[in-house]
Amino acid sequence: MKYLWIVATVASLAGANACHAEGVDKAKATTFDGQMFGSPLSQKTYACFVRRYDANHLARHPKQKVSAMKLLVTAEDAPEGKTVNYSFRLGFKYRHRAGNFDSSGYCNHIVAENTGGEIRLGCSIDCEGGGIEVAMKDDRSALIRLERIRIWERDKADDDASNDLVAGADDKIFRVDRADLRECAEPVTDRKELAALRRK
């Protein structure tokens, strides 16, 4: 992925590291957040995007490995200061492999190269687990770009279930569409967060 990382500071969130962008145009970041979340940010704000690829799409993309994808993006006020922590959860199904697979990590705003200063979320997984970029196509759809991302098979021990989803000819960019937050509850394991999603 070719992009310019914005200088970031690192803060602790729920025992993990979250990156906060500094130096990014705040007005552009605010506009991006408004488009991503569909409303001004509150103490904890969610955005859910889903895509289930039909037979016609898969026939046109025979090398695509993924048959369904869900993306949950969360923005949460940091308790220690005037910053916002961004995180993501990704759930998907393979086309020719049984099981449900997940990934998750933390994000910050980045400026993509050669795009006229387009703001995206750059998201990464701990321990060199790769990551994704998330851009907004329009108010209703997001674009997920990846080269490699660490994944786990749901409901299995980490040591037995860890693997990588590596971009192929038809698995580099995924369009996902805005959906009800309850659609993205499946990859979430925290009970309080599940309850919050189901109340939205």
Q: What is residue 24's predicted lDDT score, i.e. its pLDDT?
A: 82
Print burial letters for 87-106: b (CB count within 10 Å at least 16), e (below 16).
Answer: bbbbbbbbbeeeebbbbbbb
By CB neighbour count within 10 A (0-12 exposed, 13-18 middle, 19+ buried), where does 180 fall? exposed
Tens digit of each residue's pLDDT, the chain (200 residues): 433 333 232 333 333 333 345 568 889 999 999 999 998 888 899 999 999 999 999 999 999 999 999 999 999 987 776 788 999 999 999 999 999 999 999 999 999 877 777 899 999 998 788 999 999 999 999 999 999 999 988 877 565 667 899 998 899 999 999 999 999 987 666 655 645 555 55
Diameter over CA atoms, the chain: 50
The β-bridge partners of 72 are 48, 89
Q: What is residue 19's predicted lDDT score, i.e. its pLDDT?
A: 38
Domain regions of the chain by residue span: 3-199
Q: What pTM, to 2 d.p., does this model score?
A: 0.81
Q: What is residue 15's predicted lDDT score, i.e. its pLDDT?
A: 30
* Tokens of residue 189, six digits: 């394991």
- Closest Cα partner for 67 from 95, 39, 91, 89? 95
What is the C-alpha separation between 98 and 121, in angstroms, rounded?
30
What is the C-alpha separation between 133 and 42, in angstroms, rounded?
23
Q: What is residue 192's predicted lDDT score, i.e. its pLDDT?
A: 58
* Tokens of residue 48, six digits: 């859910």
